[in-house]
Amino acid sequence: MPGSPLRRKLLTTLLLAPAGAWLIVFLVLPFIAIIIFSVGERAPEGGYQAALTLTQYANLPARAAAFWNTLILAPVGAFACLLVAYPVAYYLALKASQRWRLILLALIVIPFWTSLLMRTYAWMYILGGRGIPTLLAYVGIEDLRLINTPGAVLLGIVYGYLPLMILPIYVSLERLDRRLLEASADLGAKPVSTFFGITFRLSLPGVTTGFSLVMILLLGEYLIPTMLGGGKVFFLGNALVDLFLQSRNWPFGSAIAVTLVLVSVVVLIIANRVSSRFSGARQVDLI
């Protein structure tokens, strides 16, 4: 019997099976393992030893600095990304001609084809002793330190995550009905008022998507702080690598990981709330 409910159900199951299996094997099961690890104890020779204790969670304050740095870096990095990305997305969506739009979008996406590791390496050399500081030395600016500073980490973050911020904002601005901007001007709104009252407000879904995307990725960021921060600025990502691979304290690392996931979930929920609140019909006056 073609098209019978049973058959359709089977087909749906078959189509969803690969993705479902992938999620279960690589996300759900490992996460359950991590949760189990996090209530266990470190085996004497390192690794995991079964137990049921909250000691690991009680020990979290020992890594307070890493938490603190991460909780500062993620929103600040995401915000810096936003500041750079918004004008680009605005130009692309509202000002650029059709041809330039394509060229510029390609220029934004193409660097993604090279691995982030290689691109961050490049920044290491650009900012390192033989890069920009050497050039500046020629014009008399000596002893400028760029690499291994928080500024370098921020720069790397903005560089690495910019496309993730630009694209969702671009999409929401591109969908914006231009006549709304004309209507706003017609009603007496100066360009700045139109921007904050209409353009920015209606692009908020894109902004929150980009912001939460970048921020969540930054919560687990490991590569950029290590390479451009020289390990001086210690983040949760670095802490995890250190705990799992160096000191082999799997339970404590697991506790940190679980906490990190919880923080990410909270960020997502807040972003969702903000997005639906501002883009919905409810009015909150910004101007």
Partner 1 sequence: MTAALNPDIEFREVAKRYGAVTAVSGINLSIPPAAFVALLGPSGCGKTTCLRMIAGFEQPSEGQVLIRGQDMAGTPPYRRPVNMVFQQYALFPHLDVENNVAYGLRQQRPRLSTREIRLRAGEALAMVQLAGYGHRKVHELSGGQQQRVALARALVNKPAVLLLDEPLAALDKKLRTDMQIELQNLQRELGITFVLVTHDQEEALSMSDFVCVMNRGSIVQIGQPNEVYHEPADLFVADFVGKTNLLPGKVSGRADGLVELRLANGSTISARSRGNLAKGDDTTVSLRPEALRLEAPGRGTLQGVVRNRIFLGATVEYAIEVPVLGTLMATADHQFFQGNLFEPGEPVAIGFAPGTPLAFPGIKENGTKQRETRNVEIIS
Residues near partner 1 (CB under 8 A) are: 177, 179-180, 182-190, 193, 197-198, 201-202, 278-283, 287
Smaller CB distance to partner 1: residue 44 or 188?
188
| Token reading at 263 | 């923080």
- How would you label 52-84 residue by residue, b for 16+ Cβ within 10 Å and e otherwise? eeeebbeeeeebeebbebbeebbbebbebbbeb
Burial (Cβ within 10 Å: 0-12, 13-18, ≥19) of residue 35: middle
Smaller CB distance to partner 1: residue 3 or 188?
188
Smaller CB distance to partner 1: residue 130 or 179?
179
Least distance from partner 1 to the Cβ atom of residue 201, Å: 6
Contact indicator for 207, 169 with CB cutoff of 8 Å: yes
Least distance from partner 1 to the Cβ atom of residue 98, Å: 15
CA distance 6 to 16: 15
| Token reading at 156 | 């790397």
Least distance from partner 1 to the Cβ atom of residue 40, Å: 50
Least distance from partner 1 to the Cβ atom of residue 193, Å: 6
Least distance from partner 1 to the Cβ atom of residue 191, Å: 8
Smaller CB distance to partner 1: residue 20 or 191?
191
Helix or strand (DSSP H, E) at 34? helix 29-38
Please say whether the dihedral angle defined by the alpha carbons of residues 24, 26, 27 and 32, taken in this order, is positive or negative: positive
Smaller CB distance to partner 1: residue 104 or 185?
185
Helix or strand (DSSP H, E) at 48? strand 48-49
Least distance from partner 1 to the Cβ atom of residue 215, Å: 24
Least distance from partner 1 to the Cβ atom of residue 81, Å: 24
Residues β-bridged to residue 41: 49
Query: Which among 155, 124, 274, 262 is positioned nearest to 204, based on CA atoms?
Result: 274
Smaller CB distance to partner 1: residue 26 or 182?
182
Smaller CB distance to partner 1: residue 21 or 183?
183
